[in-house]
Amino acid sequence: MNEIKSQRQIIQVGNSLAITIPANIARKLAVQKGDEIDVSFRNDTQLDAQFFQSMETVIDQFESALNQIGGK
């Protein structure tokens, strides 16, 4: 399947949240009102250098215990 990327803003419709599909993408996908589509959601949380430094500190501090848990 070809991937078409488009960043969209979430809007409120009544008590629900919705994401609109731009007309040009709807035409490319050949979808119309009432059609069902599969949707994937992704949260691109980025881990920064401070996170990795903290992990190194914890691993260094508890290396012996982690090795015992891991059977080493």
Structure confidence by residue, pLDDT tens digits, 4-50? 777 888 999 999 999 999 998 888 888 999 999 888 777 777 778 88
**DSSP strand E in 1-72: where?**
10-13, 16-19
Q: Beta-carbon neighbour count of residue 21 at 10 Å?
A: 15
Position 11 scores a pLDDT of 94
Quote the pTM value.
0.46
Instruction: Report residue 8 as tokens.
Output: 């969209």
The CA angle 27-25-37, to the nearest 5 degrees, is 85
